[in-house]
Amino acid sequence: MATATEKTFYLETFGCQMNAHDSEKVIGTLRQEGYRQVETEDEAGLILYNTCSIRDKAEQKVFHRLNDYKALHKAGKRFGVLGCVAQQEGEKIFERAPYVSLVSGSASYRKLPEMLSRLEAGETRITGLDDRQTDETFETEFTARQNPYRGYITIIEGCDKFCSYCVVPFTRGKERSRTSTSVLEEAKRIADLGYTEIQLLGQNVNSYRDPEGKCSFAELLVRVGQVPGIRRVRFTTSHPRDFTRDIVEAIDAHPTLCDHVHLPVQSGSARVLKAMAREYTPEWYLERIAWVKSAKRSISLSTDIIVGFPGETDDDFIQTMDLLAQVQYDCVFAFKYSARPNTPALVMIDSIPDVEKSKRLQALLDRQREIQRPNYSKHIGEVMEVMVEVQNPARGQISTRSSQNKTVNVTWAQPIAPAPGSYMRVRITASHPNSLIGEVV
């Protein structure tokens, strides 16, 4: 139970891995400012939501959540909205939810200590809305790592690509990379904490440009993989425009770099890609895929797709389906187009009815399931190294991950399971379209 003078906070995170890691940094900052993290809203003096606005549904979830907890304001609690909805809606949040005292986008988190002091002094309309002006990155040595098996490092913040559907360039500010020196220092700190897996993060992680000019993105991958103690390096999300062949060569030459590339294509139609301002054609994209497929290692591929973009015809959609068959991804994240504030696509008529979007989404997911089925069953009989992520001995299984980023559920009969982050060798005994089943060898 919190005492009257104790500063406590509850933080809930919505959205992507960038947000999950931002929250780790925010938690570290709050602790440094003397706050203690608690598990429930009831126990907390300060309630924070780190929000996502990538699609309308994500944004609505935040406002519903704020509404649910309105009554807590009367109990003297303070509210803060962080992240993408905060940046997007700005001061309008104070009108919609007058009990909110703090609104801050991710580009302003470095000012959190100052904003917290103002909050403690009783101010009720505190904003950190840097928009696209700031060149600064948010780096802190106090990151409170919440993920027990994976250490995240943001290497590049913001986005300058302005794909016509995407809100990120408006919510996360302009593109800015950290120095490779500071990235490598953080990688060493992560290894010292006992982590063996690092995931490099950025909206367009491979657009990374070292401000010190010491290394390219591919070289940075290699150097992070050479940090003593590090056994697995992942990175997300890559943009096809900046995907270079040396990334594939680096993965081929360095087994610590995981054999998996997430390369969002969004659509298989040249016409739709043009309207999306993706600045590549399907052929150009498929050339990058051919590089990945020509590697000596078997590199797994995954992607993001948007269905029902304004003006997407049946024929455009069929081209996306054909691209799935051609590439043979191991995992696809597919979304119905959602019109977002400020984005260039907002002027295009969101012409596809929701039922049609749903129909296309379902058809795509069904097709992808059938593509994955034989590709997962190919692993049966194989012995591979996996890392434990979630222990669930009660269900007789533990959830692990392969270097290729495939989920491998390992049969486990003993009462005590190996800790998250430990490695084991397993033989694959069965497969599902989205996961593998294995037993310890």
Q: For residues 379-408, which are near ligand SF4 according to CB under 6 A? A: none
* Residue 23 DSSP code: H
Cα-based distances in Å from 365 to 36, 100, 429 = 43, 39, 25
Choose from ligand SF4, ligand 5AD, none: what does 55 bind? Cβ within 5-8 Å by kind: ligand 5AD
The correct pick among 13, 206, 338, 368 for binding ligand 5AD (CB under 6 A) is 338
Q: For residues 163-222, which are near ligand 5AD according to CB under 6 A? A: 165-166
Closer residue to ligand 5AD, CB minimum distance, 270 or 334: 334
Nearest to 333 by CA among 355, 301, 356, 359: 301
The minimum distance between CB 128 and ligand SF4, in angstroms, equals 15
| Beta strand spans in 147-269 (E) | 151-154, 156-157, 176-177, 197-201, 232-236, 260-262
| Beta strand spans in 337-382 (E) | none
The correct pick among 340, 360, 401, 406 for binding ligand 5AD (CB under 6 A) is 340
Is residue 300 within 8 Å of 404, Cβ to Cβ? yes
Q: How do strand 46-51 and strand 78-83 relate by DSSP bridges? A: parallel
Looking at 13-21, 38-46, 366-374, 412-420, which segment touches ligand SF4 (CB under 6 A)? 13-21
- Please classify residue 429 by burial: count the beta carbons closer than 10 Å to its beta carbon, then call 0-12 exposed, 13-18 middle and 19+ buried: middle
- Please classify residue 31 by burial: count the beta carbons closer than 10 Å to its beta carbon, then call 0-12 exposed, 13-18 middle and 19+ buried: middle
- The reply on whether position 83 binds ligand 5AD by CB under 6 A is no
10 Å Cβ neighbour count for 76? 7
Closer residue to ligand 5AD, CB minimum distance, 103 or 166: 166
Nearest to 434 by CA among 386, 373, 383, 378: 373
Residues 6 or more apart whose CB falls under 8 angstroms from that of 213 comprise none
Choose from ligand SF4, ligand 5AD, none: what does 15 bind? Cβ within 5-8 Å by kind: ligand SF4
- The reply on whether position 84 binds ligand SF4 by CB under 6 A is yes
Nearest to 225 by CA among 286, 265, 184: 184
Cα-based distances in Å from 360 to 146, 313, 330, 350, 367 = 37, 11, 20, 15, 10
Q: For residues 278-307, which are near ligand 5AD according to CB under 6 A? A: 304, 306
CA atoms within 13 A on the CB side of 238: 25
Choose from ligand 5AD, ligand SF4, none: what does 138 bind? Cβ within 5-8 Å by kind: none
Looking at 38-46, 163-171, 204-212, 424-432, which segment touches ligand SF4 (CB under 6 A)? 163-171
Closer residue to ligand SF4, CB minimum distance, 147 or 429: 147
Q: Give the largest CA-CA distance in the chain.
A: 64
Q: For residues 165-184, which are near ligand SF4 according to CB under 6 A? A: 167-168, 171-172
The correct pick among 264, 268, 282, 310 for binding ligand 5AD (CB under 6 A) is 264
The minimum distance between CB 54 and ligand 5AD, in angstroms, equals 5
- The reply on whether position 337 binds ligand 5AD by CB under 6 A is yes
* Residue 257 DSSP code: B
Element (H, E) at 102: strand 100-104
Closer residue to ligand SF4, CB minimum distance, 15 or 128: 15
Gap between the Cα atoms of 376 and 393, Å rounded? 24
Gap between the Cα atoms of 384 and 402, Å rounded? 7
- Pattern 121-160, ligand SF4, x by CB under 6 A: ----------------------------------------
Closer residue to ligand 5AD, CB minimum distance, 151 or 264: 264
Closer residue to ligand SF4, CB minimum distance, 53 or 403: 53
- The reply on whether position 376 binds ligand 5AD by CB under 6 A is no
The correct pick among 54, 306, 352, 371 for binding ligand SF4 (CB under 6 A) is 54
The correct pick among 8, 9, 15, 30 for binding ligand SF4 (CB under 6 A) is 15
Is residue 91 helix, strand or coil? coil
Q: How do strand 423-431 and strand 435-440 relate by DSSP bridges? A: antiparallel
Looking at 83-91, 214-222, 238-246, 331-339, which segment touches ligand 5AD (CB under 6 A)? 331-339
The minimum distance between CB 5 and ligand SF4, in angstroms, equals 34
Choose from ligand 5AD, ligand SF4, none: what does 172 bind? Cβ within 5-8 Å by kind: ligand SF4
The residues binding ligand 5AD (CB under 6 A) are 54-55, 165-166, 264, 266, 304, 306, 335, 337-338, 340
The residues binding ligand SF4 (CB under 6 A) are 15-16, 18-19, 52-54, 83-84, 167-168, 171-172
